[in-house]
Amino acid sequence: MPQTQAKASEAASHLDYMRQALDLARKSPPKPTNYRVGALVVDPRKNETLATGYTLECEGNTHAEQSCFIKLAEEHKISEEQLGSVLPEGAVLYTTVEPCFKRLSGSRPCVDRILRLGKAIQTVYVGVKEPEKFVGENTGRRQLEEAGIKVVFVEGLEKEILNVATAGHVSEGG
């Protein structure tokens, strides 16, 4: 019985973090050319949020995960590439939409940013798969898993996440 309670508690915790990420996504301005995404970098051993981010939060055409990394790098006065050396062991990333594997803007994809951190991020919790609207099927999950990073879908907020993510998009029918 305690294992069941622990699993239920863990699932509730993941949903709580995903709700926080969804609240961040709502801060992103609606645009027809991107998804509104929220993300958190968390130290699960301390139950502590290390950084938050949302699409277009930082200067430029920034994604939510990228905004987290930019803010963490600034906080530690290091480059984004050096973040792997300061993140606590077992750090995890929560993101409402699966990290991108390709950017039409030419910026570095979020999957590459995660991979460049080495083993600093060991698990990525995702609310929904990336819709295929802009770049087709997202192969980022496979790239992360092949590098030994777990990708776990947190169920329960899919419809709400997609509604927020696609706000500002022109519907197919009109």
Query: Domain extents for the chain?
Result: 11-165
CA dist 125 and 61 (Å) reads 23
In tens, the pLDDT along 90-132 reads 899 999 999 988 877 768 899 999 999 988 999 999 998 876 6
Rg over alpha carbons for the chain, rounded to the nearest Å, is 16
| Crossing angle of helices 2-25 and 64-76, rounded to 10° | 90
**Model pTM?**
0.89
Pick the CATH number of 11-165 from 3.30.200.20, 3.40.140.10, 3.40.228.10, 3.40.30.10: 3.40.140.10
Q: d(Cα 144, Cα 120) in Å, to the nearest integer?
A: 12
Catalytic site positions: 65
42-100 tens-digit pLDDT: 999 999 999 999 999 999 889 999 999 999 999 999 999 899 999 998 899 999 999 98
